[in-house]
Amino acid sequence: MSGFLTVENLAVKVGSFELSDFSFEIAEGECLSLMGPSGCGKTTVMEAICGLRNEWIQAGEICLGGEEITGLPAGARGVGLVPQDIVLFPTMTVREHLEFGPRLHGWRRKAIAERVEGLSEGLGLGDLLERLPQGLSGGESRRVALGRALALRPSLLCLDEALSGLDEARHEEVLTMIRGMIEREKVTTLHVTHSLAEARMLGDRILEMG
Amino acid sequence: MSELNQETQKIWKVRPEWPFLLFLLFVVVSYLGLVLLMLGANVLSVSWSEVGQILQDPAIQHSIKLTFVTCTATAILSVLVAVPLGYLLSRYHFRGRAFLDTLIDVPILLPPLVVGLSLLILFNRVSLSEGCWVLAVGLFTAAILGAFGGDRKGKLIPVVLAGLAILVALAGVFLRKEVGSLEDAVGEVGLPVTFHPLGVVLAQFPVAAAFAIRTMKTTFDQISPRYEEVAMTLGCHRGQAFGRVILPMASKGMIAAGTMAWARALGEFGPILIFAGATRGRTEVLSTSVFLEINLGNLSGAAALSLLMIVIAVSTLLLVRSFLGRGGSV
Which among A55, A92, A100 has the least Cβ separation from residue B151?
A55
Tell me the CA end-to-end span of chain B in Å, nearest whole number: 57
Q: Which CATH class is domain A5-208?
A: alpha beta
Note the pLDDT tens digit of each residue in A134-189: 999 888 999 999 999 999 999 999 999 877 777 777 788 888 889 999 999 999 99
Residue B79 pLDDT: 97
Q: A168 or B216: which carries more pLDDT confidence?
A: B216
ipTM confidence: 0.92
Torsions phi, psi of A107, nearest 5? -65, 155
pLDDT of residue B328: 42
The reply to whether B226 touches chain A by the CB within 8 Å rule is: yes
One digit per residue, the tens of pLDDT, for chain A of length 210 reads: 568 999 999 999 988 888 999 999 999 999 999 998 888 889 999 999 999 988 889 999 999 999 999 989 999 999 999 999 999 999 999 999 999 999 999 999 999 999 999 999 999 999 999 999 999 988 899 999 999 999 999 999 999 987 777 777 778 888 888 999 999 999 999 999 988 888 998 999 999 987
Task: Give the torsion through C-alpha atoms of A122, A126, A130, A136, to 10 deg.
Answer: -70
pTM of the model: 0.85
- Best residue in B152, B229, B230 to probe A by mutation, most A CBs within 10 Å? B230
Closest residue in B to A158 (Cα) is B233
**Nearest-CA residue of chain B relative to A104?**
B235
Is residue B103 within 8 Å of B149, Cβ to Cβ? no
CA closest to A56 among chain B residues: B152
- Sign of the dihedral through C-alpha A107, A109, A111, A116: positive
Residues with Cβ within 8 Å of residue A165, at least 6 apart in sequence: A138
Domains of chain B, CATH where assigned: 55-92+101-114+192-330 (1.10.3720.10)
Domain spans, chain A = 5-208
pLDDT confidence of residue B148: 66
Mean model confidence pLDDT for chain B: 87
Q: Which of B100, B91, B104 is nearest to B146 (CA)?
A: B100
